[in-house]
């Protein structure tokens, strides 16, 4: 049985839900496969209208969705209201992508050298399995970015709901299913399954053509392995964990110290630190006298919040125990513990660059929650080689004084390292807060993502679900619509 809980009380939220049986999973996949020809073959405009219908329906029911999600996640009404808007905004973004048409990648090469004309266009990869995340009950869940982009691409979708918000998942799925049916989408275009075993079975059904996942590194790598070991392997687009290094350069440390301290604490504790974009590592200049104290004060003055689940809370506590016990690390600040049995305490630790460099695997580990490690570095020259040894991250941030030649010179080196090790580089800002637009790249080198060439946020996310087919000398009446001319 799947049971949601109220993180503010630890008490059950809503009724228990049966796990999806093998037969039910298979039926959802069969229905998705049956829907594929009609959904894949529908005009972009039809799918655009269907996505907009889903967006409109979700917006219309936000008044029910938000309190339900708040009961199951304790993320708060403001955040969740914003997240519904982001979610419906994503659906409408992809409607725009469909109307623009560029996603299809239609291109023609004229005949030449004895070779016939070739035209190429992208086709949907097949039914897609989407694994919902715990920390975004809307934007990375049942009707989130993976679902929106896959549906836009022409792929039917079967979502494996996250067990942390089952009631929200069921209501969202009902709304999505109804809106799609009302917009004329074939039955089976969308399905929902519940339970760990159901997710495994879903991923291993032969008809599934690709999978999207947002979640922990451990779970993601395990599912990636299953995909690779299928009789026919499929692409697994996993967006996993990250520690997202932030580098403060000397000019910024002295000129913008107060803003940096409060900004850091804000980003670190946002959403109880339960973001893959959480700034887990903060590199500050050794001689930035005031900054470490200001950061410690800001984190000390911050407040925690209920974590999403007992499992996440216990994981955070274990992670804190690990770093507290580390001989190279000093505990420097603790904020106010969040309410309820699973309330997170914001924490700040510190280490020197040399100490950090001596145990990067442990000290750069993601601690899913509001825990930061502040690392003091002697000079940019010392920092750069250590920074280059970090694993792949979603985001790297650098704070500098654009008017300082020294900061700019150091920033150039930091950016050069980040260009090889992160998916997004932020200047004088924070990694949390991911804009949903055309230029966004929410990805990054392994293990931040399993397929670093792709993004899971923004218009380009649709590319994960498309594969090209070339048509050589094929008459217009046999080519797909956009290639027909």
In which residue are the tokens 């990648």 written?
A: 105
Under rule CB under 8 A, residue 78 binds its own copies: no
Contact 236, 403 (CB under 8 A): no
Q: Which of 423, 432, 456, 461 binds its own copies (CB under 8 A)?
A: 423
Interaction of residue 345 with its own copies, rule CB under 8 A: no
Tokens of 228: 């690779």
43-61: b (≥16 Cβ within 10 Å) or e = ebebbbbbbbbbbbbbbeb
The DSSP letter of residue 454 is -
Q: Return d(Cα 50, Cα 46) in angstroms, integer.
A: 6
Applying CB under 8 A, among 18, 439, 481, 484 the residue interacting with its own copies is 439
Q: CB of 472: closest distance to its own copies in angstroms?
A: 4
Closest approach of Cβ 118 to its own copies, in Å? 4
- Nearer of residues 72 and 401 to its own copies, judged by Cβ: 401
Distance CA 446, CA 443 (A): 9
Q: Which is nearer to its own copies, 271 or 343 (CB)?
A: 271
Q: Whole-number minimum distance, CB 402 to its own copies, in Å?
A: 5
Considering only 12, 67, 473, 481, the residue that binds its own copies (CB under 8 A) is: 473
Stretch that binds its own copies, among 263-271, 278-286, 364-372, 469-477 (CB under 8 A): 469-477
**Angle at which helices 145-153 and 77-100 cross, to 10°:** 20
Pick the binder of its own copies from 311, 419, 481, 484 (CB under 8 A): 419
Stated length of the chain: 485
Active-site option among 83, 276, 286, 322 = 276
Which range touches its own copies (CB under 8 A), out of 211-219, 237-245, 261-269, 446-454? 446-454
* H or E element at residue 168: helix 166-182
Residue 344 half-sphere exposure toward CB, CA atoms < 13 A: 36
Residue among 72 and 146 whose Cβ is closer to its own copies: 146
Is there a catalytic annotation at residue 227?
no
Residue count at the site for its own copies (CB under 8 A)?
70
Are 442 and 394 in contact by the 8 Å Cβ rule? The answer is yes
SS3 210: strand
Residue 445 makes contact with its own copies by CB under 8 A = yes
Q: Are strands 157-160 and 190-193 parallel, antiparallel or unpaired?
A: parallel
Residues 385-404 that bind its own copies (CB under 8 A): 391-392, 402
In the complex with its own copies, the residue whose CB is nearer, 293 or 452, is: 452
- Per the structure block, which two tokens stand in for 356? 């950090």
Instruction: Determine how β-strand 246-248 pairs with β-strand 190-193.
Output: unpaired
Q: Are 284 and 292 in contact (CB under 8 A)?
A: yes
Extract long-range pairs of 58-61: CB within 8 Å, 24+ residues apart: 58/84, 58/87, 58/88, 58/91, 58/138, 58/143, 58/172, 58/175, 58/176, 58/179, 59/84, 59/85, 59/88, 61/171, 61/175
Stretch that binds its own copies, among 7-15, 161-169, 359-367, 430-438 (CB under 8 A): 430-438
Which residues share a beta bridge with 351?
A: 375
* 435 lies in the site for its own copies, by CB under 8 A: yes
Question: Among 11, 239, 419, 477, which one carries the catalytic annotation?
Answer: 239
422 binds its own copies (CB under 8 A): yes
List 223, 418, 456, 462, residue binding its own copies (CB under 8 A): 418
d(CA 162, CA 146): 14
Q: How far is the CB of 462 from its own copies (least distance, A)?
A: 12
Choices 120-128, 154-162, 308-316, 321-329; region in contact with its own copies by CB under 8 A: 120-128
User: In this structure, are residues 320 and 304 in contact, taking their beta carbons and an 8 Å threshold?
Assistant: no
37 binds its own copies (CB under 8 A): yes
Nearer to its own copies, 10 or 429 (CB): 429
Counting contacts by CB under 8 A, is residue 115 touching its own copies?
yes
Q: How far, in Å, CA of 155 to CA of 212, rounded?
A: 12
φ, ψ dihedrals at 447, nearest 5°: -95, 20
276: annotated active-site residue: yes
Site for its own copies in 225-244 (CB under 8 A): 228, 232-235
Catalytically active residues are 239, 276
**Residues near its own copies, by CB under 8 A:** 37, 107-109, 112-116, 118-120, 123, 125-126, 228, 232-235, 391-392, 402, 408, 411-412, 415-416, 418-420, 422-429, 433, 435, 437-441, 443, 445-447, 450-453, 455, 460, 463, 466-475, 477-478, 480
């Amino acid at each position: 049985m799947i049971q949601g809980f109220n993180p503010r009380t630890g008490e059950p939220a809503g009724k228990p839900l049966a796990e999806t049986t093998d037969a039910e999973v298979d039926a959802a996949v069969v229905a998705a496969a049956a829907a594929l020809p009609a959904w894949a073959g529908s005009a972009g405009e039809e799918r655009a209208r269907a996505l907009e219908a889903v967006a409109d329906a979700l917006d219309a029911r936000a008044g029910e969705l938000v309190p339900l999600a708040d009961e199951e996640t304790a993320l708060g009404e403001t955040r969740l209201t914003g997240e519904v808007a982001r979610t419906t905004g994503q659906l409408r973004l992809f409607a725009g992508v469909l109307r623009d048409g560029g996603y299809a990648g239609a291109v023609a090469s004229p005949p030449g050298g004895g070779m016939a004309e070739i035209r190429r266009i992208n086709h949907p990869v097949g039914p897609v399995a989407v694994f919902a995340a715990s920390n975004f009950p809307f934007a990375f869940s049942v009707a989130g970015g993976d679902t929106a982009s896959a549906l836009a691409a022409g792929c039917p979708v079967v979502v494996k709901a996250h067990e942390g918000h089952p009631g929200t998942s069921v209501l969202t799925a009902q709304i999505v299913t109804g809106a799609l049916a009302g917009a004329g989408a074939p039955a089976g275009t969308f399905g929902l399954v519940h339970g760990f075993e159901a997710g495994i079975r879903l991923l291993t059904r032969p008809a599934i053509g690709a999978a999207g996942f947002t979640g922990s590194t451990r779970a993601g790598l395990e599912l990636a392995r299953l995909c690779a070991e299928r009789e026919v392997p499929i692409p697994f687009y996993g967006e996993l964990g990250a520690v997202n290094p932030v580098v403060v350069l000397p000019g910024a440390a002295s000129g913008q110290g107060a803003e940096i301290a409060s900004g850091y604490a804000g980003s670190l504790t946002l959403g109880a630190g339960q973001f893959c974009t959480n700034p887990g590592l903060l590199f500050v200049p050794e001689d930035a006298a005031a900054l470490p104290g200001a950061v410690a004060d800001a984190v000390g003055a911050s407040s925690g919040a209920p974590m999403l689940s007992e499992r996440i809370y216990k994981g955070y506590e274990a992670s804190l125990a690990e770093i507290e016990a580390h001989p190279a690390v000093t505990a420097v600040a603790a904020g106010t513990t969040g309410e309820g049995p699973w309330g997170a305490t914001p924490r700040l630790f510190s280490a020197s660059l040399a100490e950090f460099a001596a145990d990067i695997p442990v000290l750069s580990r993601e601690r899913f929650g509001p825990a930061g490690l502040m690392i003091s570095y002697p000079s940019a020259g010392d920092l750069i080689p250590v920074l280059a040894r970090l694993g792949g991250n979603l985001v790297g941030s650098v704070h500098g004084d654009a008017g300082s030649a020294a900061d700019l010179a150091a920033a150039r080196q930091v950016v050069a390292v980040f260009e090889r090790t992160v998916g997004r580089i932020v200047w004088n800002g924070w990694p949390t807060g991911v804009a949903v637009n055309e230029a966004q790249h929410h990805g990054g080198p392994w293990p931040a993502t399993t397929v670093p060439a792709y993004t899971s946020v923004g218009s380009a996310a649709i590319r994960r679900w498309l594969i090209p087919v070339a048509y050589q000398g094929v008459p217009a009446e046999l080519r797909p619509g956009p290639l027909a001319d």
